[in-house]
Chains A and B, each alone.
Chain A
Amino acid sequence: MGLADHMTEESPDTGRPNVDVSAAPAEAAADMPLLRIEGVSKTFGSFRAVDRLSLDIGAGEFFALLGPSGCGKTTLLRMLAGFETPDEGRVLLGGRDIAPVLPHERPVNMMFQNYALFPHLNVRDNIAFGLKRAGMPRAAIDTRVAEMVALVKLGGMEKRKPDQLSGGQRQRVALARSLARRPKVLLLDEPLAALDKKLRESTQLELMELQRRLGMTFIIVTHDQEEAMTMANRIGVMDAGRLEQVATPRDLYEAPASRWVAEFVGDVNLFEGEVTSHEHHRLTVATRDGGAIVVAEPRQPVTKSLVSVAIRPEKLKLSRRGPASDAVTSEAINRLEGVVTDVGYLGGSTVYKVKLDSGAVVRSSIANTSRLDRDTYSAGQRVVAWFRPDDCVVLER
């Protein structure tokens, strides 16, 4: 499929979430997701950057690849763009294997981390660059550029060179340039890393709005979990070239698949122990320090006896000791006593570090729902840390 085909074919239906895949073989298109990655590997020297990774991404999705630096997420993105060729495996776009297709012939565009704006061209020519290469007529280019400039709110800047723009404006030019060709898939490599916090947050919302409006498939690479959680409707967490878990932001946080994911995404308290009993949909886990934790039975049956129990800090609540607290906490089957060692006030919430009598240190995050300082604890105070069985996650690896 030539570039010109893809431009015209895509133009009329950008408002629809279902991207046209009519160019693909008919029998494959029926049940095939827009993008299918099948057992793809990439090795640099002796370093295996991506390791037999498989993933399906549907049309109109906002997908985030999240992972620490060096986990292979950027390599995977570069393989989708065509800058790296997989050593093994296939990449299917609309049912067609694009592994042998060169970058300039792929209906995929990329927004680079450092934007890679052409310094010798002004804003207009940067945006028009890909359109000219596609052989679009001049009038159509002008219309499309004007449309893109309006889309990213850069009116009046068309004649400026990249070095006359602020960081945020450059980011918009890069976005407009990569969207101008109306790619089937837009790849974004850490698109917001160079922006300051406030600008990053507003740009996140703008990107989401844009993606919804254009109905395009966005794949974003980021190491910032908040960014991934905010923007994406599905997140793939990567580590050491493999996908640890692919899930919605909520599932990723509330039902992590492994210890590694639980620790990487958000904060977590972990207790290791052995499953000792299993009745009435409740498991009892004997922790190493001699205590016992009661947890709700997970959906997937637990096969191992040695497990970790994960509890998020905001689900670990604190109470003062004494009889008064017992009435409030009828659900508090899991009660652990300890002493507050550190108090971190964050504005919206306060994080308490509690050293339990067993020696373990846990963190509890409590929302500051009231201006007056009721229900606060100070360092050195004895408290009861408690949590509901439903709020725990049992992890086998």
Chain B
Amino acid sequence: MGRKANRLSPFNITALALGMAFLYLPIVILVIYSFNDSRLVTVWGGWSLRWYREFFNDRAMLDAAWMSLRVAAVSATIATLLGTLAAVGLVRGERFRGRSLLSGMLYAPLVMPEVISGLSLLLLFVALNAERGFWTVTIAHTTLTMCFVTVVVQSRLASLDRSLEEAAMDLGCDPVQAFLRVTLPLIIPAIAAGWMLAFTLSLDDVVIASFTTGPGSATLPIRIYSEVRLGVKPEINAICTMVIALIAVIIVIASLVSKLSSSEAKSAAPL
């Protein structure tokens, strides 16, 4: 009975196929057309790596890609640091007043429309008279991605047995050593997963970046968006395919890491 339920019925197969097609057909078409030799996006002209070559000769596009990677790496690192600290504060500092308010406020960016965050950051940077460019985008992306890191790290921390830190203190660690020697090694997978999540979110963002970036420091998504407005070049397909590949790799690594982390969490749990 149970085995039968696990097997896919024809109906289930059809439903699954339709759902997957709905999600992935556009992407598959984009990937296929990135290898198109033709100048026209919609006309098939045979297989070729022509547009990939084109991209690697496109100075402006390469600059934008490099900018995006730098912003993503730096903002993800800062967000991971701050997000982890926030998670530790929220999980470990159980008794302070206003804790639930603070945690609610931390999660607000998860549901806040990006246009609003972007606009408010723009107003802030203008008010501070900050020159818009790499650092403003990086700071904006840090505020966007920090709460995601907090969520990931917080859930891992909450599943850790509090008595592990107490045992470390009992065995001679002061509270800081107890955190560094026992808690940190156990939440590292979650921290790594949080970093990768922040990295992909930053790489992906158009809205906030377009509010907070300045002339001459466009990120890749902004650059692509502005190119597309003048008409889709097959080169864009090639760039998008590479971005998809990069993000796919990161997601696979992140899910492997969090799988590892949850299996270790099980062994950390009491009998």
Contact = CB atoms under 8 A, between A and B. Distances in A.
Contact of B267 (A83, A110, A119, A133): A119
Interface string B142-182: 00000000000000000001011011111111100100011
B270 interface: yes
Contacts of B181: 129
Interface stretch (A159-167, A254-262, A284-292): A159-167
Contacts of B172: 3, 104, 130, 133-134, 181
A114 B270 contact: yes
A360 interface: no
B166 A112 contact: yes
A9 to B, nearest CB: 16
Contacts of A162: 267
Interface in B254-271: 264, 266-268, 270-271
A81 B270 CA distance: 20
Among A110, A116, A177, the most chain B Cβ lie within 10 Å of the Cβ of A116
Contact of A83 (B166, B182, B270): B166
A114 B163 contact: yes
Interface string A21-60: 0000000000000000000000000000000000000000
Contacts of A115: 270
Nearest to B185: A120
Contacts of A199: none
Contacts of B266: 163
Given A3-B172, A129-B171, A116 B177 contact: no
B167 A104 contact: no
Given A119-B267, A133-B177, A109 B171 contact: yes
B169 A116 contact: no
B163 A109 contact: no
Contacts of B161: 114, 116
A163 B267 contact: yes
B167 A118 contact: yes
A371 B163 CA distance: 50
Contacts of A161: 267
A331 B10 CA distance: 86
Q: What's the interface size class on B, roughly?
A: 20 to 34
Contacts of A89: none
B186 A120 contact: yes
B94 to A, nearest CB: 12
Nearest to B271: A194
B173 to A, nearest CB: 6
Contacts, number: 76
B266 to A, nearest CB: 8
B69 to A, nearest CB: 32
B93 to A, nearest CB: 16
A161 B170 CA distance: 21
Interface in A159-179: 161-163, 167, 170, 177-178
A150 interface: no
Contacts of A68: none
Contacts of A177: 167, 171
B166 A116 contact: yes
A116 B163 contact: yes
Nearest to A130: B171
Interface string A102-138: 1110000110111111111000000001100110000
Contact of A112 (B167, B177, B182, B185): B167
Given A167-B271, A194-B271, A118 B182 contact: yes
A279 B257 CA distance: 81
Contact of B174 (A102, A134, A178, A181): A102
A103 B267 contact: no
A134 B186 CA distance: 23
Contacts of B163: 112-114, 116
Given A3-B172, A120-B264, A103 B166 contact: yes
Contacts of A113: 163, 270
B1 to A, nearest CB: 33
A178 B166 CA distance: 12
Interface in A68-103: 81-83, 102-103
Contact of B167 (A116, A134, A163, A194): A116
Interface in A202-260: none
A133 B170 contact: no
Contacts of B177: 133
B24 to A, nearest CB: 38
Nearest to A108: B170
Interface in A4-34: none
A136 to B, nearest CB: 10
Among A109, A133, A194, the most chain B Cβ lie within 10 Å of the Cβ of A133
B270 to A, nearest CB: 3
Nearest to B184: A120
B23 to A, nearest CB: 37
6 contacts: A102-B169, A104-B174, A114-B270, A116-B167, A162-B267, A178-B170
Q: Which 4 A-B pairs have the closest CB atoms?
A: A133-B172, A163-B267, A114-B270, A130-B171
Given A102-B169, A116-B161, 8 more contacts: A81-B166, A103-B170, A104-B169, A113-B270, A120-B185, A130-B172, A133-B172, A181-B171
